[in-house]
């Protein structure tokens, strides 16, 4: 019975015909409404009746009297057709870019500003859902390799992958120390800074990658005391006097600078930029395409604002 239902009741056209007969109460009227011949309408109803193995209606005189099964089937047909109408609308919304899920994966340092970019976009398209993933550089590269998301944000996009990218805001990396640090307010040489106990981000972090490259080029070795996997935990540890560090200025300013002071170290800040990245060759959904255009305009505006502050 189940498989027969699948095979026969599954045609939307038959359900449409049934509903037209049900609501008009007449095969002639339904046929006229649907621009079909009467025998076609009768034939489709007969097929439906065979599929459910029960009569759909009885004929009393010239009137159609729907059976119990006929009523149930008509109710179901109405529900199914309404659902399809809704689906149609949802698909139209998707084509019209008003709905859908946008998947974005970003490195931890950019989680402070990306929401400011997403906010106005979500206001413009309130039905858009955002799947926002935050990780360190290595974790985000892994997602990029598997093309999990529509877009990615890195300071240091991987060089060995075929990517499209737009440069966004500057992401300066600055040196921080506890508020009462004796070197605060002085110009410090890099060699002097390197002697201080340093709290480093973990291997795999883009911040760590940038700091290591900078120090390697300068021929300086840092005195790493602790490795800590979070910008916030590093800030607290620095404020607590465990050492100094180098972090994204955004990671410092966006979530408070309590107990911290920025040190004036030779050659710093390390100047990096965030990049808005997507895999080349991956077809962008209309929603993703709209978001990209939005970022290219809005991102630039935010960039200019940022430059002025
Ligand atoms: P991360 O962020 O240190 O959390 O990996 C990196 C970046 O700014 O590229």
Structure token pair of residue 62:
């010239």
Nearest-CA residue for atom 6 of ligand 1: 206
User: Under 8 Å CB-to-CB from 6, ≥6 apart: which residues?
Assistant: none
- The conformation of residue 157, written as its DSSP 8-state character, comes to -
How close is the Cα of 280 to the center of ligand 1, in Å?
Answer: 22
- Ligand 1 atom nearest 138 alpha carbon: 5
State the pLDDT at residue 301: 66
Query: What is the mean pLDDT of the segment spanning 63-83?
Result: 91
End-to-end alpha-carbon separation of the chain, Å? 71
pLDDT of residue 128 exceeding 70, the answer is yes
What's the rounded Cα separation, in Å, for the pair 274 and 251?
Answer: 13
Question: 268: Cβ–Cβ under 8 A, 6 or more apart, which residues?
Answer: 173, 174, 175, 246
Instruction: Provide the whole-model pTM.
Output: 0.68
What is the token pair recorded at 263?
Answer: 């040190």
Residue 248 CA: which ligand 1 atom is closest? Answer: 8
pLDDT tens, 233-270? Answer: 999 999 999 999 999 998 888 777 788 999 999 999 99
Which ligand 1 atom is nearest residue 107's CA?
A: 2
Distance 206 CA to ligand 1 centre (A): 4
What is the model's pLDDT at position 111? 87
Record the tokens describing residue 145, joined without a space. Answer: 């390799």
pLDDT value of position 242: 96
Map tokens 């340092």 to a residue: 109
How far apart CA 131 and CA 57 sit, in angstroms, is 50
Closest CA to 306 of 267, 258, 253, 245: 253
Rounded Cα distance between 111 and 124, Å, is 21
Q: Which residue among 154, 172, 214 is best mutated to probe the pocket of ligand 1, counting the most ligand atoms within 8 A of its Cβ?
A: 154
pLDDT at 305: 40
Q: What is the C-alpha to C-alpha distance for residues 226 and 229, in angstroms, rounded to an integer?
A: 10
pLDDT, position 126 = 86
pLDDT exceeds cutoff 90 at 27: yes
| Average pLDDT for the chain | 87
Work out the average pLDDT over 161-166.
89
- Residue 174 above 60 pLDDT? yes
Does the pLDDT of residue 3 top 90, yes or no?
A: no
What's the distance, CA 232 to chain centroid?
Answer: 24
Q: Residue 144's closest CA among 279, 29, 241?
A: 279
**Residue 59 phi/psi, 5° resolution?**
-105, 120
218 Cα to the center of ligand 1, angstroms: 21
Q: What H or E segment, with its residue span, contains residue 58? A: strand 57-60
Q: Given phi > 0 = left and psi -120 to 50 = alpha, else beta, which region is 100?
A: left
């Amino acid at each position: 019975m189940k498989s027969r239902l699948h095979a026969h009741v599954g045609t939307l056209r038959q359900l449409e015909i049934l509903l037209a007969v049900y609501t008009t109460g007449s095969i002639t009227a339904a046929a006229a409404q649907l621009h079909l011949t009467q025998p076609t309408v009768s034939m489709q109803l007969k097929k439906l009746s065979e599929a459910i193995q029960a009569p759909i209606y009885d004929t009393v005189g010239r009137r159609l009297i729907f059976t119990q099964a006929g009523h149930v089937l008509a109710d179901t047909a109405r529900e199914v057709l309404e659902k399809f109408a809704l689906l149609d609308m949802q698909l139209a919304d998707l084509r019209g870019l008003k709905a859908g899920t946008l998947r974005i994966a970003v490195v931890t340092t950019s989680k402070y500003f990306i929401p400011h970019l997403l906010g106005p976009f979500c206001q413009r398209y309130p039905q858009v859902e955002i799947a926002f993933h935050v990780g360190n550089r290595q974790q985000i590269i892994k997602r990029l390799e598997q093309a999990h998301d529509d877009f990615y944000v890195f300071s240091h996009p991987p060089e060995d992958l075929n990517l499209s990218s737009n440069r966004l805001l500057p992401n300066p990396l600055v040196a921080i120390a506890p508020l009462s640090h004796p070197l605060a307010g002085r110009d410090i040489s890099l060699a002097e800074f390197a002697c201080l106990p340093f709290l480093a981000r973990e291997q795999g972090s883009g911040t760590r990658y940038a700091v290591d490259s900078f120090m390697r080029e300068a021929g300086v070795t840092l005195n790493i005391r602790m490795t800590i996997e979070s910008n916030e935990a590093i800030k607290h540890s620095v404020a607590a006097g465990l050492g100094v560090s180098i972090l994204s200025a955004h990671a410092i300013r966006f979530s408070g600078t309590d107990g911290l002071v920025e040190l004036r170290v030779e050659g710093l800040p390390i100047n990096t930029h965030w990049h808005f990245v997507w895999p080349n060759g991956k077809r962008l959904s209309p929603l993703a395409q709209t978001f990209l255009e939005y970022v290219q305009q809005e991102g630039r505006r935010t960039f200019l604002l940022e430059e002025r502050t």
